[in-house]
Amino acid sequence: MGGIMVLLLLIITLHVNLGHDDANMTMRCTDKEREALLAFKQGLIMDEHSQVIFSSWGTEAAKQDCCRWEGVSCDNQTGHVVQLDLRGNYYLQGTMISPKLIELKHLKYLNLSRIDFGGSQVPYFIGSLTNLRYLDLSWCSLGGKFPIQVGNLTNLQHLDLGYIDFSGNVENLDWLPRLSSLTYLDLSDNNLSNVFYWPEAVNKLPKLTTLRLQNCSLPSPPVRSTLSNINSSKSLSSIDLSLNRLSTSSIFLWMSNYSTSLVDLYLFFNQLEGAEPHSFSTLCSLQSLDLSGNNLSGQFSRFVPTCAQNSLESLWLHGNQLSGRIPESIGQMSKLEHLNLGMNALEGVISDSHFSKLSKLSYLDLSSNSLVLNFQSN
């Protein structure tokens, strides 16, 4: 009886093992790729925290298949490493990004966001990983000059090189138009003060939907004429150019070309002053508009696209010099959740009708104006 049990168990175990091997036969990564990953790990500082994250990584026989390592994914047909994703591991630190990473030739997705590499040189070989679709090195604390070699990554759809601390300026964006599949671009916190023709580079990206250039010392595009004749991308839906030095209304003109697609527009803390009366009148899809901390003057209604009355959820205009009355039509913006008009020169009476349909409003700031509030007791 006991003998039969043992035999049965043996058969079951054998069966399970066989199934296991079958299913994962094609998942085995190549020696080169395994070594490249181990070299990458060598560039990280191993403390108690990271040892836990990397406990599945190793040279032992049981850990041979790097496709099963934490953060690594392989193509399930070829077994090649296609993804290295260490996202969310906020306390990882390293001394360098190993040049051996170049062996991961099939890599499509690389996310090292927020790993602190202590200011070590950004690896320029990154331009050789030409299969990359997603590259995210944001907040990585790398040094050296901005890697224009990324312009060789012509398959990229998502590029995030924001908040990295590169030294010096990005001298031009001549490398950018080659990335014609880009849908997402974030170069925030790089110094682009010499790049006057940035709208032209952006306009050459036909699929771009998100553009983030926060805190880039971005200058105003020169004059209208240089902006005409552009083969414009019509897909941009989110633009964040906050914390720059934009001052002229040519920027509004450029944006008006995205009138059918633009959903989020962030321009806070620039030096914007005037605007032609109808700059915003065509931005009918807007949900969020943030123009706070500029020097905008004139009537409030110039900066509110009335055609977006039914889509606007957030409107931030505080810290400008807007004057005149707040029209009662604002009470029709039934989706509005956040409204900040503080620190302007607005005047007149605010009454119930200003809020007639604002049932979703959860944040309201009207402070530091000259408004008279006149509400019925209910």
Contact criterion met (CB below 8 Å) for 334 and 313:
no
CB closer to ligand NAG out of 126 and 315:
126
Alpha-carbon span 110 to 98, nearest angstrom: 14
Nearer to ligand NAG, 243 or 350 (CB): 243
Phi, psi for residue 40 in degrees, rounded to 5: -60, -45
Q: Is 225 in the site for ligand NAG (CB under 6 A)?
A: no
- CA dihedral for 92, 97, 98, 100, sign (positive or negative): positive
Distance from C-alpha of 156 to C-alpha of 173, rounded to nearest angstrom:
16
Given a contact cutoff of 8 angstroms between Cβ atoms, the answer to whether 162 and 139 are in contact is: yes
206-240 residues labelled b (16+ CB within 10 A) or e (exposed): eebbbbbbbbbbbbbbeeeeebeeeebbeebbbbb
DSSP state of 355: G
In the list 87, 245, 278, 360, the residue contacting ligand NAG (rule: CB under 6 A) is 87
Binding status of residue 120 toward ligand NAG by CB under 6 A: no
Does 76 participate in binding ligand NAG (rule CB under 6 A)? yes
Contact 94, 53 (CB under 8 A): no
Separation between Cα atoms, residue 226 and residue 370, nearest integer Å: 41
Q: Contacts with ligand NAG: how many residues (CB under 6 A)?
A: 43
Query: Shortest distance, CB of residue 360 to ligand NAG, whole angstroms?
Result: 28
CB of 296 to ligand NAG, least distance (A): 9
Residue 257 as a binder of ligand NAG (CB under 6 A): the answer is yes
- Span interacting with ligand NAG, options 55-63, 252-260, 310-318, 352-360, rule CB under 6 A: 252-260
What distance in Å separates the CA atoms of residue 230 and residue 228, rounded to the nearest whole number? 5
In the block, tokens 């897909």 appear at 235
223 vs 298: CA distance, rounded Å = 23
Binding status of residue 29 toward ligand NAG by CB under 6 A: no
Select from 57, 254, 268, 316 the one that contacts ligand NAG (CB under 6 A). Answer: 254
The residue range among 46-54, 253-261, 276-284, 347-355 that interacts with ligand NAG, by the rule CB under 6 A, is 253-261
- The answer to whether 144 touches 164, Cβ cutoff 8 Å, is no
Using CB under 6 A, which residues numbered 129 to 158 contact ligand NAG?
134, 136, 148-149, 151-152, 158
d(CA 103, CA 114): 23
Q: Which is nearer to ligand NAG, 24 or 332 (CB)?
A: 24
116 touches ligand NAG (CB under 6 A): no
In the list 20, 32, 245, 360, the residue contacting ligand NAG (rule: CB under 6 A) is 20
Give the residue ranges of DSSP H helices in the chain. Answer: 2-24, 31-42, 48-53, 198-203, 224-227, 250-256
Q: Could you give the string, one character per residue 185-204, with x where binding to ligand NAG holds by CB under 6 A and - elsewhere?
A: ----x-x-x-----------
Which residue from 141, 157, 181, 215 is in contact with ligand NAG, where contact means CB under 6 A?
215
Amino acid occupying residue 330: I
Is residue 290 a contact residue for ligand NAG (CB under 6 A)? Answer: no
- Please give the residues from 345 up to 374 whose contact with ligand NAG meets the rule CB under 6 A: none
**Is 259 one of the binding residues for ligand NAG (CB under 6 A)?**
no
Can you give the binding site for ligand NAG, defined by CB under 6 A? 19-20, 23-24, 27, 67-68, 76, 87-88, 111, 113-114, 127-128, 134, 136, 148-149, 151-152, 158, 169, 175, 189, 191, 193, 206, 215, 217, 227-228, 230-232, 243, 253-254, 257, 273, 295, 297, 321
